[in-house]
Each structure stands twice: as C-alpha cells, then as structure tokens.
Structure 1
Amino acid sequence: LAQADSVFTQYIGDELLERFFPIVKSFNHTVFEACRSTSLSAIIWAQREIFDRYRVMRIILPNRIHKSLSRRKDLYAALRDGDPDRACAVWTDHLNESFTIWRDKSGYGKELEGFTFF
C-alpha cells in the first residue's frame, strides 16, 4: 500500500496505471495466499486467470483507480483488525462494482442486465 501511495504521488495517466497494475497484483497475491487454503487459492487463481485473459483489469481499473486503492486499504484495515465480516463486505462491494463496470463497458450490458456478481 505504501508503494501504491508513492506511485500515485509520482505518476499520472497511463504511466500510473502501468505502475499500479503490478502493485495490485502483488497485494492480491499476498491477501489470497494468506488464507492458507489450497482449494480456495486454486479457485481464486482460476478466476483471476480468466480476468487476466479477458483483460478485465484493463477495462475496470482506469475507471476506478483511486477507488481500487481505497478498497485495498479498507480491506487491509479489516484484516489487520481481525474483522472478517468487514473484510468480506469490503471485498464483496469491490467485486460487485468491478463487475458492473466490466459489464457496462464490455458490451455485454444487455445480456447481463440484472445479473449480480455476489
């Protein structure tokens, strides 16, 4: 998160996005692997591979880069405080908002109308 804050103060536009992507990936990896569940990690990484394959992050992140960092800070705080309910709520909101942006920008808005991710 400190690396992300530093990148946000030094860069803008596409350069900010390019430098922020690996930080998001690293943060997610740390959080996902911290669950210490082989089966849950496998499910998460399979889902992430689909996101990467279809360039979902490239669609979502430019539309909410500041929100992405804010949500990760909120998630970190919930995990640090040992509050799994708050962590779950933060991440569920994050995924739902990300899905909505992807759905609307991907051209599948009509087909997926009314569908909620979580």
Structure 2
Amino acid sequence: MKTVYGEMCISDCAVRKWVRIFKGKVPRETILRDRKRSGRPLSASVTAHREKVDCMIRANRRVKQKEIANAVGISKEPLHHIVKTELGYRKVSVEMKAQRKDMCTQLLELSTIFILA
C-alpha cells in the first residue's frame, strides 16, 4: 500500500487495531464518535472569569496576560480567547491611537509653520 499511496498511507498497526475493535460487532452498532467523558470543561470562559479579567484590564491597561492567568487561575489559551474574542480587547487601545493622531497632527502643523517661515 505504501508503494501506491506513499507516506500518507495508514500503517499496518492501525489497520490491525481497527480490526480488533470492530471484529465480532455489527457495523451499525459500532460508534465511531468519541463518547462524552467526565473531566475538565472545554472552555474556561464563564461569566465570573470574564468579569475578573475585564476588571483587571480596566484597572491596569499594561497588565500582562501571564499575570492575569495566574491571578484568575486559568491557562493562557482560554484567557487569550476571553480577552480577544469575548471582551474584544486589542493590543493597541483606542485612546493610544487618538493620542498618536493628535501628536502627528501637531507635528505636521509645526513642520508647515517652519517651512512657510
């Protein structure tokens, strides 16, 4: 099979494993999907986490995600999802953009004054 399909071909070991799993069972009764398992929830973005993260960011805009993750008690990946997707924060705030625009406008006005003088 590897000569025909190349390296993307399924291994003999995997085929043998599947044969052991499905041997003796009626194909219609065989479940191919993962069953639900107990354990950690897939998402840590509950309302309490969102509120804590939002309060920390509003209190200190320069706080690092690692510090927030340690304080809230979740990993960085769910925290990143909360910050970016659910809260809509970005790296550069709107206030910073407005300040930059004002500074550039002032510099442009100053440069035209010096050129005209």
TM-score w.r.t. the length of structure 1 is 0.22
User: Structure with the greater relative contact order (CA < 8 A, sep ≥ 6): 1 or 2?
Assistant: 1
Q: Which has the higher helix share?
A: 1
TM-score w.r.t. the length of structure 2 is 0.22
Larger Rg: 2
